[in-house]
Amino acid sequence: MKWTARLGVWLARCYPHSWRARYGEEFDALLADRPTTLLDCLDIAIGALNAHTMPVTAESLNERMARMLNVVRRSEIVVFSAFIAFVVAGLYLNGQTDDSPYLPLMGFKPGLFPNIELNNPLAVTWLALEAFSLVALAAVLAGGLPIALSVWRRSPHLRGLFLVPVACFVGICVPPAIAILAYYANGMNVPTVLRGLGRPLSVSYGIWFVALAVISTAAVARAVARGEIGAGILRFALWASAAATAAMAIMLCSTLAWGLAAHTQAPGNFDRFAFTGDPTVLSWGIVIVTMLAATAVAAWATLRGINASHRDDAAAGPASVIPSTEIAG
Amino acid sequence: MSLVELGAHSDPTLLILASLAGGPKHGYAMMEDIEAMTGVRLGPGTLYGVLARLEQRGWIVPLPSDDRRRPYQLTGAGAVTLSERLREMQRLAATGLARLAESQR
């Protein structure tokens, strides 16, 4: 086989999977029937690019819609999973900051409405982090609850999967609840109780927390992947995903700024490359990397879902006027 | 002057529909027929890009086949579309020729 023929066969593999499934065999037969020139190879490469950017496969409108909705569904599962990873990182930072020397530095006083100093970068960045965490949570609930309700109502065989997050939540609460109950009678301060458990037990609880978060997320993802969900609900959830992702990006920037402020205002506490139970540059760095990865994955998935949704809307135009397919006599 | 030099009548959609108007053909047969008919050599990527669009529009349909080569057939809607395009070109040709004859008198 000449090198141009081999190149042509290799380039044919660059067509999208759905295109290959429909036309791959006959296309390969065509390439085998005639000599492939360099111009043919260029033509095949351009054809593959067009097939990726302007997919036109002879599938029915319903098949195309189902394929698009599957892409949207998978995108939303990825965004939800990234959000959970982001939350775990945020809770870790929040747990470290709680009852730490940073609270008085932020001007937070005990009470329902802490006295926040707006000229204090440490306080303002923390406030922004907490405010946008509520925005992200609201967006996830706005997009996720209709999906969950749709799966619950239309796919009763999947209802058991929704018990998994409930069980995981109980599992997360049980160890600290037991510790608090065990020491409450002695009048000990709760954060002191948790710190008093020592590093090995704290690390073990952290691993337990992450494991239950993963199991819980996997159960929800499975329910959403397999459940019956209306197209309108999936499309709406795309915009909720975009809002959640934007909020995550702002929280990431706030966390970054908070660390820089901590470095400026409390270098003695912050500028330590160690795990001390309070936020340090090491623990903060791990949180930043996790948040950055989660935000990047969520952004990629959201864009992929929106692109699939819009591309199908554009491609559906001409197909809506498919003429009758009467066979010529 | 060949059609490929003219450019105007090298539209792959038109060429494929015209080729299939002569009976069902698979991809290689279409390319050979088009080259013989017009001198235009379609690339395989171009051919299958157009075949996919024509099939989506319902102007051609694939026929069952025992081997890897799948023949396509023109549908009634495809025949109507081809007919309309060729009549437009016929009107254009008639108008152009009449004006040329007029200008050379």
Q: Cβ of A324 and B56 within 8 Å? A: no
Concatenating the DSSP letter of every residue in A8-61 gives HHHHHTTS-HHHHHHHHHHHHHHHHHSPPPHHHHHHHHHHHHHHHHS---S--H
Number of residues written out for chain B: 105
Closest CA to B74 of A58, A59, A326: A326
Q: What is the pLDDT of residues A113-168, one digit of tens each?
A: 556 667 788 888 888 999 999 999 999 999 999 999 999 998 898 999 999 999 99
Distance in Å, alpha carbon of B53 to nearest chain A alpha carbon: 6
Mean pLDDT computed over every residue of chain B: 88
What is the predicted pLDDT for the residue at A324?
Answer: 30
Distance in Å, alpha carbon of B1 to nearest chain A alpha carbon: 23
- The ipTM is 0.86
Q: What is the pTM of this model?
A: 0.59
Higher pLDDT, B95 or A120: B95
Is B45 within 8 Å of chain A by CB?
A: yes
Sign of CA dihedral A166, A197, A109, A94: negative
> Beta strand B72-74 with B60-62: parallel, antiparallel or unpaired?
antiparallel
Residues 6+ apart with CB under 8 A from B99: none
- Sort out which chain B residues have CB atoms less than 8 A from A30's CB and list them: 26-28, 31, 44, 47-48, 69
